[in-house]
Chain A
């Protein structure tokens, strides 16, 4: 019973640890902007790989949606950065996201046809889930500028939409 309880506690700790926060310090606004922008760029790159490899109409449409939406959100992020005179600052979270995305891209490069489609869409579900979790638990609460917080909140709504869209595509690709 005690063993079970502590296992449960350990699981809880893992879950509540902010998925992307590395190190105890909460991210600063210049770091948050960098993380959010990087996360968007990485999803655009993933979509471009899908557009090169996939022949599935629904998967291609989804990838096009990702390119379009993330490009727009990042355009708004850059406009805000300029307005607020914030200089995006590279950080461990951005570096780790980039590294993971590169590994995933190499992995997906080896797949073709339905195997690729399935793996790409499954990764899109997981990736948006991770980023949304980070936005909710770390990035939005840590943002000190109100306009930045606002943009992140709208971004979260958009990416939650993408997650649901990806889940829908995943059902069809099976």
Chain B
């Protein structure tokens, strides 16, 4: 495994040396940098049955990523029925926001866990 990683980085270096590749790489880097300005991934941690932060301000196109630190399965289930994300124990779950407005969500398995997303257009 370490030798493979080494090989890959060597290859990248060779490519980066050619002038054409440099501007290409720069374009890619620029594109990557500019992506977060339009759509972000916002992380919400689940720890001991608490969504943190409880309230998230986001906008359409953003992705919410729940990071489940509990050894229990949880869900992020929106009350209006639009989406229902299963989040296995010690794993992550995601949803991309497609509608503006404020929505409340909860865990179906432990309904005392609640959160809110405020989605701007």
Contacts and interface: CB of A to CB of B under 8 A. Distances in A.
A162 B113 CA distance: 11
B-side interface size class = 10 to 19
Contacts of A68: 72-73
B71 interface: yes
Interface string B56-81: 00000000000000011100000000
Interface in A139-174: 154, 157-158, 160-162, 164-165, 168
B71 A76 contact: yes
Interface string A54-89: 000000000001001100100010000000000000
A4 to B, nearest CB: 36
A154 B49 contact: yes
**Secondary structure class of chain B's binding surface, majority of residues:** loop
B49 A164 contact: no
Given A68-B73, A72-B71, A165 B49 contact: no
B72 A165 contact: no
A154 B48 contact: yes
A75 to B, nearest CB: 8
Interface of A: 65, 68-69, 72, 76, 154, 157-158, 160-162, 164-165, 168
Interface of B: 48-49, 71-73, 89, 107-113
9 smallest beta-carbon distances between A and B, as pairs: A161-B110, A164-B111, A157-B49, A161-B112, A72-B71, A160-B112, A154-B48, A65-B109, A164-B112
Given A72-B71, A161-B111, A161-B113, 8 more contacts: A69-B72, A69-B109, A76-B71, A154-B48, A157-B49, A158-B49, A160-B112, A161-B112
